């Protein structure tokens, strides 16, 4: 991976401080985002994908907090910025769209105004100029009648349109990185495809990198260049998309891929990974996946595996690949 | 929109009738003969009988009620026993003072309440939260007449910043407005705080933060309007407690308002005056509810579009 | 658009119900594929639904509320054991000793009839706390039953009860209490009646709205489908879920009852002498505000402490029990 | 037609006002735009308030009342005498000299003759007196006023004319004209009584018998006393403005027959809260404060403003009743025991700082007939116990103390003290709280337990006291005393007709001795001194003792 990393997350640790103890929601995650690429983060709910995104954005609120690691955006560490400095970065250099287009827009303001606000915050434009920019970006994200929609309230728009507004808002300042947290989960399948294509197109046009967080392997396959598989706050496997789908190495990834229904196979029953995501407060002593792993050995229950290099640019957190070099400590 | 307004008004009508009926019945089951009480010493029984007849008190209750409602619909709340004047006129004379007092007090209450509420919400569960909520709640925690008296003592009597009593200049209005407003500030602060805390959990707040707004901007620009919407409906509730408080504040500061009339009505056992005052006040509150509801509709785009 | 709006309000109602019902499903729910929001995740990880846990949260994050609870408990104890605690008989007059300044013998001085003010405040706690607790309990019981019926039966029952509640809520409470007192005359018993009658409507409204959403819940549907009696559903299944709101409401209604008594006493239609209600003591003492201020200040402070304590406790309880209760 | 007539009259009156004496403060506050509609009786414009809008009140004296008046029409009120005292005159007035003795002096009536049988009174009226609207005062006005007193809607002072021949018939409606009052000529009025009534002259000084202008009053209809513009008299001040619950304004009558007042006018503020009143006085916002309103602060005022306190007797007696119909008060020993068990001086000291004096009879200090030398009742709890033992109540008994919720706190406190004092001799007195109307009704039905109240003179004569309580069975019943001795009550009634003053007073004093000291019919408590605080600039203020607690502003002036 010799490309320039526009975003370099190293050993990120974010914990929740609750009554019952400290919960390691993100536990030593390292992610590299090359410029202009789409990076996927997949995993089941509660695996720490969203927490990672929120940590990067500096949006973690009490009782959650980043406790370790570094996040370098275009070479600059943004983990220790003051609120003021951070606000200059957010929405400008790095932006985010969320899973729930229904609730992510403020119901009491017209959507155009909400997007315009992002411009006014970061660029020295007059209100009229900013408005024109909003209409332009609305057009770019495929909102019909952008002049009219400018004055619409969120509840007057369909979910797909709202998500387009969100994308518009995230893209309007030409950020270096855009994090999309399950941007299509709440949408119909047809609209999902449109939105994904839109993101891909914008990414290309503007040279913006995207971190796409999803639990849907199909989506990953469709748009991502590189994939991180997360489980219980840790990256379990990371690889280029083709590599991952060709050689899913971690038992968890294998399970995930098996559980996608395939049209060309006539399986009697859909595969499921047994068990549930473990309680982060009471993680197994060894590999976090050991309780559900069908390949688990004794060692897996007592010792934590590192991320081992299974192939070039392909990391797996499983003792099976211990022969490769360690990618983290 | 129009149909909603009409529907809302239609709902208010049975409430209004209910209010009048409730008051009417409550005041009729008063023990003792109102005329005897009203006339006091030196009275000839023949005079009592004559006056009872003239006031229509010898007629059956339902006839009295129908007559009262019929007259009230024409804006006539009857004649005060004691003052021998048209109750409507007495109320209308006192009304502007109470309205002035209530509006000023509302301004004070909202100022204290919202500021305290915002600070408390931002500093949730920290020292400033407790201090500001405590300060706002202090006003509710003392009997309002004591608050009034202490304010009067310190700022009018000792410091001589304001006159001790009266309501004829802006200086004179300051203390009554603070006494009454502070009394209502607690509940506004409490509601602002809990609404803000709740609104701050919303996804769109995260969006606002994500687009680079700083915390103050998020609160003022995005959370406040949402949080204030339900507080608008509280204006009506506030009106009710404010008019209750006005009864006491007006007495302490000698403001010639509606609250005083209610006290007059009780003290002199002047049933038509008391009845008129309570009915009129209640109509005000129902109207206030109506306006708050409509205002809410206008302010909240989600509901506004309904038309 | 109309449809969308309707759905929207429905969603709101449901959202509230979710919170109110206190039906956290813990980790299970996450397995269903619902992506937790950060705060939610924290909440899920850190808290569960038992009362003990909530009280622990309260103790941890709101010391003031805990302190208030202790104050209230102390006041109640003092009230119960007043004869043991009070240094003097609260009714014993001593005309030569009237209007004495606070001293070692009389910590808060003596009143206009030479009675020990501290002892009167201690005995007054009985009256004022009873006035705070009893009518509130009665009026909230009335409101709860009516609200349950209105929400559960709906239709005409609902319409009648809620219009009645509208009528009650339209009155300024003090004026209404004044009218009741005007009709029945002054005195403690009548204050109980007046305050009990006046304040049920707010409770009824809240209980009704919760009942409305709760009765659509699965567990109620389930109970109904296996033929559980209506009253059993109402009181066994729905009522317990309203309890958190009711407790908060109860705590916050008590102070207003105590203050109403003081206001009525100020207007001369409240408690009657020689009863030592705090309200009456303030009103009586007010006349000596300039020369013997402690006479009115001491009972005022007593009222203030109790009222603030209940307010703080109520706010604290609301924060942990029932973040959605906003009708206050 | 009627309306137009009254409109015309109102217009005439407005003109009259402008021409007349009420121009104090440079403005005829009673004239102007609000006069016409108000007098016209138009319901929509019944706005008697805001009449002071145009009056410039700078330089006026500021007084305070704790509750607004009901009306300035004294025929319709038994307590709001402040305005009537200053707006109207009466045929006769009471004058109190410095020694405290009082005498009846001429006012609107210059001279009077009384027939030998004490039935016919002929009054020669003062000539040249004008009402504030410019009308002449004549005998016709006296006839009109007295007739109106008996017939006016909501009239309450009819008792004052009970003794006049034909009064009962007019009240009942069987006669149109009042037979006993007759205008002999423009300036002579003859009043005939149905039986001799020695207190009649005193009675004529009562505020309730203030003289009205027949023409203006008739035209004003029910607005008389309500609308300042139409409420006129011959008195030293004109009623210039009334903002309900806020203030009353009086402006001096420039043409007053005794000479215009030195005060340009008076503003009477209405302030219910006593602490506010105190603070207003101390901040210089008041010139005059009736310390009755702030009883509990009196000591402080005496200390802080020793040179600014004016005092006068309050001719009234505070009494404590014993209901003869209730066990065990039929027994004179029990009644006497109660008389001895109450330490009245202690109560007076505790509640009123000793300002006043303990009374021992029926006629209080300052009243004609007050008997310095009568038998005294002494505080003697041991004696009381002994008497109770004699009566068979060594272990005491339970009795009711009936408290009226509307009474002042001081009265309630007195009951609380009495309760304790009675407990000391073994009587268990229970305070029962009544609301005002029930209290009054129960009292009128004769069923009220012991209560404490104060009777203040309507006019300066013992008749006004003894007859009210012990005049006949009905009167003693409605006070819940139920005094049973009809022979004594006949004597009380008969005494009213004794023409010879000395004989009459001797009889009254004998009756007092019999009722209070022999029969122990009530417990006389005390009479109080009436104190006022005046600002430094107020000069020559003298309290008027008759009536409830009224001020006469005439004669007062403001220095600097």
Size of interface A-B (CB pairs under 8 A): 81
Give the nearest chain B residue to D441 (CA atoms): B32
CA of C226, closest CA in chain B: separation in Å? 37
Asked if B144 and B180 count as a contact pair (C-beta separation under 8 A), the reply is: yes
CA of D442, closest CA in chain C: separation in Å? 14
Asked if D188 and D110 count as a contact pair (C-beta separation under 8 A), the reply is: no
CA of B104, closest CA in chain D: separation in Å? 20
From CA B235, how far away is CA B239, in angstroms rounded? Answer: 6
Answer whether residue C11 shows pLDDT above 70: no
Average pLDDT over residues B156-167: 86
Ordered strands of the D237-243 beta sheet: D61-65, D265-270, D247-252, D237-243
Please list every residue in chain C whose beta carbon sits closer than 8 Å to the beta carbon of residue B269.
182
CA dihedral (C97, D319, C272, D274) in degrees, to 10, reads: -70
Judge whether D185 is closer than 8 Å to chain B, CB to CB: no
From CA D156, how far away is CA D175, in angstroms rounded? Answer: 19
CB pair distance less than 8 Å for B133 and C315: yes
Average pLDDT over residues C207-220: 83
Question: Is residue D409 included in any domain, yes or no?
Answer: yes
Give the nearest chain A residue to C28 (CA atoms): A276
For residue B188, the number of C-alpha atoms closer than 13 Å in the C-beta half-sphere is: 32
What's the pLDDT score for residue A291?
A: 83
What is B215-234 written as a DSSP string?
HHHIIIIIIHHHHHHHHHHH
What's the pLDDT score for residue D18?
A: 45
Judge whether B128 is closer than 8 Å to chain C, CB to CB: no
Q: Where are the alpha helices (DSSP H) in B123-254?
A: 127-141, 144-151, 170-199, 203-210, 215-217, 224-253
CA of A245, closest CA in chain B: separation in Å? 33
What's the pLDDT score for residue B33?
A: 66
What's the pLDDT score for residue B293?
A: 78
Average pLDDT over residues C112-134: 89
Average pLDDT over residues D285-300: 87
Q: What is the CATH number of the domain that holds D249?
A: 3.40.190.10
- Choose the closest CB to B204 out of A84, A106, A156: A106
**b/e map D336-373, b = 16+ CB within 10 Å:** bbbbbbbbbebbbbbbbeebbbbbbbbbbbbbbbbbee
- Choose the closest CB to D158 out of B47, B83, B153: B47
Mark whether D32 and D179 lie in a shared domain: yes
Q: Which of the pair, D117 or C46, is modelled with greater confidence?
A: D117
CA of D414, closest CA in chain C: separation in Å? 9
Judge whether C263 is closer than 8 Å to chain A, CB to CB: no
Top residue of C174, C263, C318 to mutate, by most chain B CBs within 10 Å, is C174
Mark whether D209 and D70 lie in a shared domain: yes
Asked if C205 and C165 count as a contact pair (C-beta separation under 8 A), the reply is: yes
- What is the full per-residue pLDDT of chain A (329 aa) written as tens digits? 455 788 898 889 988 887 777 888 888 888 989 888 899 999 887 788 888 888 888 888 777 888 888 888 888 888 888 888 888 888 888 888 887 777 888 888 889 988 898 888 888 889 899 999 899 888 888 888 888 989 988 888 888 888 888 888 888 888 889 898 888 877 778 888 888 888 888 888 888 899 999 888 888 888 899 999 988 888 889 999 988 888 888 888 888 888 776 666 555 566 777 777 777 777 788 888 888 888 888 888 888 888 888 888 888 888 888 887 777 65
Mark whether D74 and D171 lie in a shared domain: yes
Q: Sign of dihedral through CA atoms C153, C157, C163, C166?
A: negative
Judge whether C5 is closer than 8 Å to chain A, CB to CB: yes
Question: Is residue D307 included in any domain, yes or no?
Answer: no
**pLDDT (tens digit per residue) in D478-513:** 899 999 999 999 999 999 888 888 899 999 999 999
Candidate from B187-191, C176-180, C181-185 with smallest mean pLDDT: C181-185
Mark whether D397 and D347 lie in a shared domain: yes
SS3 of chain C: helix, strand, coil, percent, to 5: 75, 0, 25
Question: Is residue D301 included in any domain, yes or no?
Answer: no
CB pair distance less than 8 Å for C326 and B14: no
**Residues of the domain holding D112:** 7-287+535-558
From CA D189, how far away is CA C313, in angstroms rounded? Answer: 78
What's the pLDDT score for residue C7?
A: 32
Answer whether residue B36 shows pLDDT above 80: no
CB pair distance less than 8 Å for C186 and D435: yes
CA of C222, closest CA in chain B: separation in Å? 31
The residues, ordered by sequence, that sit 6+ positions from B99 with a Cβ below 8 Å of its Cβ are none
Question: Is residue D302 included in any domain, yes or no?
Answer: no
**pLDDT (tens digit per residue) in B276-296:** 898 888 888 888 888 877 777
What's the pLDDT score for residue B303?
A: 66
B198, B121, B204, B300: which is closest to A117 by C-alpha? Answer: B204
Give helix then strand counts, H and E, for chain D: 18, 22
B135, B158, B138, B156: which is closest to B147 by C-alpha? Answer: B138
CB pair distance less than 8 Å for D440 and B37: yes
Judge whether B205 is closer than 8 Å to chain C, CB to CB: no
What's the pLDDT score for residue D429?
A: 92
Asked if D483 and D325 count as a contact pair (C-beta separation under 8 A), the reply is: no
Question: Is residue D334 included in any domain, yes or no?
Answer: yes
Answer whether residue D197 shows pLDDT above 70: yes
Indicate the helix (H) or strand (E) that contains A230.
strand A226-231
Mark whether D155 and D278 lie in a shared domain: yes
Q: What domains are defined for chain B?
A: 16-73 (no CATH), 93-306 (1.10.3720.10)
Which tokens hold the place of B62?
A: 């339902």
CA of A272, closest CA in chain B: separation in Å? 32
* Strands D265-270 and D61-65, bridge-based pairing: parallel
Judge whether B282 is closer than 8 Å to chain C, CB to CB: yes
What percent of chain D has a predicted confidence (pLDDT) above 90?
A: 51
Mark whether D45 and D171 lie in a shared domain: yes
Answer whether residue D233 shows pLDDT above 80: yes
Domain count for chain D? 2
What percent of chain D has a predicted confidence (pLDDT) above 70?
A: 88
Candidate from A68-77, A159-168, C54-63, D321-330 with smallest mean pLDDT: C54-63
Judge whether B115 is closer than 8 Å to chain C, CB to CB: no
Mark whether D490 and D542 lie in a shared domain: no
Judge whether A96 is closer than 8 Å to chain B, CB to CB: yes
Q: Where are the alpha helices (DSSP H) in D243-359?
A: 274-282, 298-304, 332-341, 344-352
Question: Is residue D294 included in any domain, yes or no?
Answer: no
Q: Where are the alpha helices (DSSP H) in A155-246?
A: 159-171, 189-206, 217-223, 241-246
What's the pLDDT score for residue A204?
A: 84
Judge whether C189 is closer than 8 Å to chain D, CB to CB: no
Average pLDDT over residues C57-69: 81
Judge whether B66 is closer than 8 Å to chain C, CB to CB: no
Please list every residue in chain C whose beta carbon sits closer than 8 Å to the beta carbon of residue D281.
none
Give the nearest chain B residue to D153 (CA atoms): B51
Mark whether D18 and D142 lie in a shared domain: yes
Q: What domains are defined for chain A?
A: 5-231 (3.40.50.300)
Confidence of residue D524 (pLDDT cuts 50, 70, 90): very high
Asked if D319 and D523 count as a contact pair (C-beta separation under 8 A), the reply is: yes
Judge whether B18 is closer than 8 Å to chain C, CB to CB: yes
What's the pLDDT score for residue D423?
A: 93
Mark whether D50 and D184 lie in a shared domain: yes
What's the pLDDT score for residue D180?
A: 92
Answer whether residue C185 shows pLDDT above 90: no
Q: What is the CATH number of the domain that holds D471?
A: 3.10.105.10
Mark whether D38 and D162 lie in a shared domain: yes
D117, D126, D132: which is closest to D92 by C-alpha? Answer: D126
**pLDDT (tens digit per residue) in B97-138:** 998 998 899 889 988 988 888 888 888 778 888 888 888 888
Asked whether the bond before A70 is cis by omega within 30 degrees of 0, the reply is: no
CB pair distance less than 8 Å for C274 and D431: yes
C213, C220, C223: which is closest to C245 by C-alpha? Answer: C213
The residues, ordered by sequence, that sit 6+ positions from A269 with a Cβ below 8 Å of its Cβ are none
Question: Is residue D2 included in any domain, yes or no?
Answer: no
Mark whether D492 and D373 lie in a shared domain: yes
What's the pLDDT score for residue D47?
A: 38
Asked if C247 and C137 count as a contact pair (C-beta separation under 8 A), the reply is: no
Asked if A210 and A178 count as a contact pair (C-beta separation under 8 A), the reply is: yes
CB pair distance less than 8 Å for B261 and D245: yes
CB pair distance less than 8 Å for B225 and A89: no
- Per DSSP, the three-state class of C259 is helix
What's the pLDDT score for residue D37?
A: 36
What's the pLDDT score for residue C1?
A: 34
Answer whether residue C210 shows pLDDT above 70: yes
Mark whether D506 and D540 lie in a shared domain: no
Question: Is residue D116 included in any domain, yes or no?
Answer: yes
């Amino acid at each position: 991976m010799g490309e320039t990393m526009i975003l370099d997350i190293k050993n990120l640790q974010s914990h929740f401080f609750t009554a019952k103890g400290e919960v390691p929601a993100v536990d030593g995650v390292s992610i590299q985002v090359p410029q202009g690429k789409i990076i996927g983060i997949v995993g089941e709910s509660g695996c720490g994908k969203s927490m990672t995104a929120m940590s990067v954005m500096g949006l973690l609120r009490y009782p959650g907090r980043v406790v370790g690691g570094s996040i370098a955006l275009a070479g600059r560490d943004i983990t220790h910025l003051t609120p003021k400095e951070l606000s200059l970065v957010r929405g400008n250099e790095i932006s985010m769209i969320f899973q729930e287009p229904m609730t992510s827009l403020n119901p009491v303001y017209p959507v155009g105004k909400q997007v315009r606000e992002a411009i006014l915050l970061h660029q020295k434009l007059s209100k009229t100029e900013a408005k024109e920019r909003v209409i332009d970006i609305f057009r770019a994200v495929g909102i019909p009648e952008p002049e009219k929609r400018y004055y619409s309230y969120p509840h007057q728009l369909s979910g797909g349109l709202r998500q387009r507004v969100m994308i518009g808002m995230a893209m309007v300042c030409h950020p270096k990185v855009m994090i999309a947290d399950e941007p299509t989960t709440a949408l119909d399948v047809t609209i999902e495809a449109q939105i994904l294509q839109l993101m891909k197109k914008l990414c290309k046009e503007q040279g913006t990198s995207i971190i796409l967080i999803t639990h849907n392997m199909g989506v990953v396959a469709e748009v991502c260049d590189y994939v991180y598989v997360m489980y219980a706050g840790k990256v379990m496997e990371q690889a280029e998309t083709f590599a991952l789908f060709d050689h899913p190495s971690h038992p968890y990834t294998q399970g995930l891929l098996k559980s996608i229904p395939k049209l060309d196979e006539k399986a009697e029953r859909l595969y499921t990974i047994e068990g549930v995501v473990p309680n982060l407060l009471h993680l197994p002593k060894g590999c976090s996946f050991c309780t559900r792993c069908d390949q688990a050995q004794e060692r897996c229950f007592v010792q934590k595996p590192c991320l081992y290099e299974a192939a070039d640019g392909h990391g797996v957190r499983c003792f099976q690949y211990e022969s490769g070099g360690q990618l983290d400590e | 929109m129009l149909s909603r307004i009409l529907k809302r008004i239609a709902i208010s009508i049975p409430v209004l009738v209910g209010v009048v009926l409730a008051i009417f019945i409550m005041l009729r089951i008063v023990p003792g003969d109102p005329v005897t009480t009203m006339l006091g010493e030196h009275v000839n029984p023949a005079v009592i009988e004559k006056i009872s007849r003239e006031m229509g008190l010898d007629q059956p209750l339902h006839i009295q009620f129908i007559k009262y409602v019929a007259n009230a619909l024409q804006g006539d709340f009857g004649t005060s026993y004691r003052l021998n004047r048209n109750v409507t006129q007495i109320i209308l004379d006192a009304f502007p003072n109470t309205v002035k007092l209530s509006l000023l007090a509302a301004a004070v209450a909202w100022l204290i309440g919202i500021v305290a509420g915002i600070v408390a919400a931002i500093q949730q569960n920290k020292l400033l939260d407790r201090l500001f909520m405590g300060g706002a709640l202090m006003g509710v925690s003392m009997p309002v007449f004591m608050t009034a008296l202490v304010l009067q003592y310190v700022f009018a009597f000792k410091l001589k910043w304001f006159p001790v009593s009266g309501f004829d200049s802006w200086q004179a209005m300051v203390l009554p407005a603070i006494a009454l407003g502070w009394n209502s500030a607690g509940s506004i602060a409490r509601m602002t705080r809990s609404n803000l805390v709740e609104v701050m959990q919303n996804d769109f707040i995260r969006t606002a933060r994500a687009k680079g707004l700083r915390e103050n901007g998020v609160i003022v620009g995005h959370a406040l309007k949402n949080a204030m919407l339900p507080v608008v409906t509280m204006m009506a509730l506030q009106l009710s407690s404010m008019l209750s408080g006005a009864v006491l504040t007006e007495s302490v500061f000698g403001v010639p308002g509606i609250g005083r009339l209610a006290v007059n009505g009780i003290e002199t056992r002047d049933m038509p005056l008391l009845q008129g005052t309570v009915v009129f006040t209640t109509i005000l509150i129902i109207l206030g509810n109506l306006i708050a509801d409509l205002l809410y509709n206008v302010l909240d785009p989600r509901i506004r579009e309904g038309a | 658009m109309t449809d969308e709006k309707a759905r929207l309000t429905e969603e709101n109602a449901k959202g509230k119900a979710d919170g109110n019902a206190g039906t956290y499903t813990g980790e299970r729910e996450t397995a269903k594929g619902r992506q937790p929001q950060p705060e939610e995740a924290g909440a899920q990880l850190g808290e569960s639904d038992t009362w003990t846990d909530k009280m622990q949260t309260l103790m941890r994050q709101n010391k003031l509320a805990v302190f208030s609870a202790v104050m209230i408990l102390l006041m109640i104890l003092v009230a119960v054991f007043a004869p043991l605690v009070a240094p003097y008989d609260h009714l014993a007059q001593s005309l030569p000793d009237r209007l004495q300044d606070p001293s070692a013998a009389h910590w808060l001085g003596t009143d206009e009839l030479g009675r020990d003010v501290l002892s009167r405040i201690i005995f007054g706690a009985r009256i004022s706390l009873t006035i705070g607790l009893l009518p509130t309990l009665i009026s909230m019981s009335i409101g709860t039953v009516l609200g349950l019926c209105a929400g559960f039966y709906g239709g005409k029952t609902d319409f009648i009860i809620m219009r009645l509640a509208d009528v009650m809520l339209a009155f300024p409470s003090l004026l209404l209490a004044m009218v009741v007192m005007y009709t029945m005359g002054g005195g403690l018993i009548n204050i109980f009646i007046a305050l009990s009658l006046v304040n049920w409507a707010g409770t009824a409204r809240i209980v009704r709205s919760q009942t409305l959403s709760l009765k659509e819940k699965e567990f109620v549907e389930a109970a109904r489908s296996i033929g559980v009696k209506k009253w059993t559903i109402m009181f066994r299944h729905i009522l317990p879920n309203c309890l958190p709101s009711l407790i908060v409401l109860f705590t916050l209604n008590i102070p207003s009852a105590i203050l109403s008594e003081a206001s009525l006493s100020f207007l001369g239609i409240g408690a009657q002498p020689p009863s030592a209600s705090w309200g009456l003591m303030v009103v009586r003492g007010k006349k000596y505000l300039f020369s013997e201020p402690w006479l009115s200040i001491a009972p005022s402070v007593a009222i203030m402490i109790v009222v603030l304590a209940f307010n703080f406790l109520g706010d604290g309880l609301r924060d942990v029990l029932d973040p959605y209760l906003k009708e206050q | 037609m009627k309306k137009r007539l009254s409109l015309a009259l109102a217009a005439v009156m407005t003109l009259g006002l402008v021409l007349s004496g009420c121009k104090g403060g440079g403005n005829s506050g009673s004239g102007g735009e609000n006069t016409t509609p108000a007098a016209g009786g138009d319901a929509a414009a019944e706005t008697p308030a805001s009449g002071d809008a145009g009056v410039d009140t700078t330089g006026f004296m500021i007084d305070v009342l704790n509750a607004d008046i009901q009306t300035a029409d004294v025929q319709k009120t038994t307590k709001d005498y402040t305005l009537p005292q200053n707006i109207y005159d009466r045929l006769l007035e009471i004058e109190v000299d410095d020694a405290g003795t009082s005498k009846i002096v001429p006012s609107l009536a210059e001279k009077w003759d009384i027939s030998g049988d004490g039935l016919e009174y002929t009054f020669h009226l003062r000539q040249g007196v004008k009402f504030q609207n410019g009308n002449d005062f004549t005998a016709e006005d006296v006839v009109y006023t007295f007739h109106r007193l008996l017939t006016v809607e909501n009239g309450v002072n009819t008792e004052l004319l009970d003794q006049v021949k034909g009064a009962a018939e007019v009240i009942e409606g069987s006669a149109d004209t009042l037979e006993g009052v007759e205008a002999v000529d423009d300036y002579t009025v003859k009043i005939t009584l149905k039986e001799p009534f020695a207190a009649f002259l005193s009675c004529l000084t009562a505020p309730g018998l203030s003289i009205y202008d027949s023409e203006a009053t008739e035209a004003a209809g029910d607005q008389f006393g309500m609308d300042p513009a139409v409420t006129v008299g011959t008195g030293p001040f004109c009623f210039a403005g009334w903002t309900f619950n806020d203030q009353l304004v009086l402006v001096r009558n420039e043409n007053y027959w005794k000479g215009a007042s030195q005060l340009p006018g008076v503003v009477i503020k209405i302030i219910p809260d006593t602490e506010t009143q105190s603070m207003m006085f101390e901040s210089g916002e008041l010139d005059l404060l009736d310390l009755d309103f702030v009883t509990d602060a009196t000591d402080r005022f005496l200390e802080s403003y020793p040179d600014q306190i004016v005092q006068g007797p309050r001719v009234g007696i505070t009494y404590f009743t014993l209901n003869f119909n209730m066990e065990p008060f039929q027994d004179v020993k029990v009644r006497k025991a109660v008389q001895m068990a109450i330490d009245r001086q202690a109560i007076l000291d505790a509640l009123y700082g000793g300002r006043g004096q303990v009374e021992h009879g029926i006629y209080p200090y300052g009243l004609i007939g007050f008997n310095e030398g009568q038998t005294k009742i002494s505080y003697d709890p041991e004696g009381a116990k002994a008497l109770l033992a004699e009566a068979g109540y060594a272990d005491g008994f339970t009795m009711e103390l009936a408290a009226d919720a509307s009474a002042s706190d001081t009265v309630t406190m007195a009951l609380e003290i009495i309760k304790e004092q009675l407990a000391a001799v073994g009587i268990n007195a229970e305070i029962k709280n009544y609301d005002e109307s029930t209290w009054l009704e129960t009292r009128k039905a004769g069923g009220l337990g012991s209560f404490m109240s104060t009777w203040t003179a309507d006019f300066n004569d013992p008749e006004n006291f003894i007859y009210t309580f012990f005049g006949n069975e009905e009167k003693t019943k409605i006070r819940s005393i139920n005094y049973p001795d009809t022979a004594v009550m006949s004597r009380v009634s008969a005494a009213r007709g004794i023409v010879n003053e000395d004989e009459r007073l001797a009889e009254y004093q004998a009756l007092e001795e019999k009722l209070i000291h022999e029969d122990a019919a009530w417990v006389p408590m005390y009479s109080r001194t009436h104190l006022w605080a005046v600002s430094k600039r107020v000069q020559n203020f003298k309290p008027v003792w008759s009536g409830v607690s009224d001020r006469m502003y005439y004669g007062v002036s403001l220095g600097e």
